[in-house]
Every structure is written in structure tokens, then in C-alpha cells.
Amino acid sequence: MENDNRPKIEASSRRRIDFNIDKTWNDIPEDSDTCSACGGHIQKEFLEFTNETNSLVVSATAPGYGCTGCELKHFDDITLLSLLNGASGQFRRFGDEAQALRLEEEAASFARARSITFDGEQQPPITS
């Protein structure tokens, strides 16, 4: 009889939902800036976007940027908005209206802060 003292790992009760956005590697520009955190080189990479609740894990892979020095990762503004809106739609589709609304509010707040219209165009800030 074998003594199995390994911890038991329970299967997650959360459902994983993968979705896609309409962005390809060529849809984002090369980033010639240096990393704001360490000054290292920035390159294009495919990154995972994940948003979780107690019952769902909503995830997508999209083109973004990564630092070769400190490994800081980020998406361009339009891609991030697409991911937030896409995740919101998935949460709504699977019955989590509260999380869908939170993500929609986050996307709207981000768009206002960055002066992005909902057609994806960046607008100059309004000055009075």
C-alpha cells in the first residue's frame, strides 16, 4: 500500500472563458519608447489579459508590449479598451451583470481620461 501524503488539489469550480478581439500583431505600432520603469528596451509581445470573479475566469491573448529589462507589460490604449469591452460582454453572456457593468465603467473612465472616443479614435483633450 502506497502512502500518498501529497496535498489534494481540488478542481476549480470557476469556469474559464476565452475570447478574442480583432487585433493582430501588425495592428499595433512598434514601440520606440524606453520603459518608464527601468529605461529598458520595449518590444511587441503577445500578452494574456485575464479578469476573474468567484465563478468565472475570462481571458484573451492580444498583442501588447513588454520591457526586456524589468519585464513590465502593457497594452496600447485601444487594445486595452477592446479587452475591457470584450471581457464585459463575456461576463454578461454568462450571467455576471455586476462584473460586466464594472468593466464597462472602467473602460468608460479610461477612455475619458485618455480622450478616446468610442469609435477608437484618440481626440485632443478639451480645454476651456
CA–CA distance, 100 with 66 (Å, rounded to integer):
28
Q: Which residue type, as a one-letter code, is found at position 91?
A: F
Which contiguous run of DSSP H or E holds residue 46?
strand 42-52
Cell of 27: 495592428
CA–CA distance, 7 with 123 (Å, rounded to integer):
54
Residue 69 CA neighbour count, 13 Å, CB half: 9
Question: pTM of the prediction?
Answer: 0.80
Which contiguous run of DSSP H or E holds residue 81?
helix 77-93
Q: pLDDT (tens digit, 9 = 90+) per residue, 77-119?
A: 999 999 999 999 999 999 999 999 999 999 999 999 988 876 6
Centroid of chain to Cα 70: 19
**Predicted pLDDT of residue 8:** 42
Q: Enumerate the domain spans of the chain.
A: 17-114
